[in-house]
Amino acid sequence: MGIFDPAQIHALANEARAWMLDTLAMPLREFERCEILLVDRRAFGPPARPAPNRLGGPAVASARAGDFRCSTLTSGTTMVHLRDLRVRVVSGHPTAATRLILAHELAHLWQAEQHLRQDLTIREGHAVWVEHQLATSRGETALAQALENSTDPIYGDGFRAVRAMLQGGRAMDAARVMVQRFS
């Protein structure tokens, strides 16, 4: 059963935010200003090209010029400018996958708040690493395994690069390491 109710998406976003603070020491100062939206995948039109999807859901492409810049939208997107904070999540994903998508997108909000200078692979890899930490902490091994086994050159390779960089450290230290390394 998928998530189609905006109240559910807000509850999951608050849950992901609290988990990120408590487990990863990643406070989201701008969260209250952030608009969390549940969008119908039909609002984006047909995919421009097939896009890889890390969590097994349908892939769609952004078709709204001037709304946000994202060539493909598999599950969610985050505005990266702190003046216009929006997280959009495509409706219909199962609860567990939606929770991970929100953690991924909120990781991008945290990255923007920290003014981190990362290339795309590290930026996405860190967000996937956050997803993986959440999946592992909740015992969602199938989702964690799917993230680990991703062959995507940005998401999968980025995840493995970030995981190697943070290897041996505690999850609570990851935020400090990312800030020290990429500020």
- Please give, one letter per residue, the 3-state secondary structure of 37-57: EEECHHHHCCCCCCCCCCCCC
Nearest alpha carbon to residue 159 among 147, 146, 145? 147
Q: Which long-range contacts (CB under 8 A, 24 or more apart) does 122-125 make?
A: 122/158, 122/161, 122/162, 122/182, 123/158, 124/154, 124/155, 124/158, 125/154, 125/155, 125/157, 125/158, 125/159, 125/160, 125/161, 125/162, 125/163
Residue range 37-49, pLDDT digits in tens: 888 866 655 544 3
pLDDT over threshold 60, residue 112: yes
134 assigned to some structural domain: yes
Establish if 51 belongs to a structural domain: yes
Range of the domain at 105: 6-182
Whether residue 1 lies inside any domain: the answer is no
Q: State pLDDT tens for residues 116-156.
A: 888 999 999 999 999 999 999 999 999 999 999 999 999 99
- What confidence category does residue 179 fall into, taking pLDDT thresholds of 50, 70 and 90? very high
pLDDT, tens only, 146-177: 999 999 999 999 999 999 999 878 888 999 99
66 Cα distance to chain centroid: 21
* Count of domains observed in the chain: 1
What digits encode the pLDDT tens for the residues 88-102?
888 888 999 999 999
In a domain, 152, yes or no: yes
Residue 38: closest CA among 62, 81, 70, 7? 7
> What is the Cα–Cα distance from 38 to 57, expressed in whole angstroms?
15
Instruction: Flag whether pLDDT at 8 surpasses 90.
Output: yes
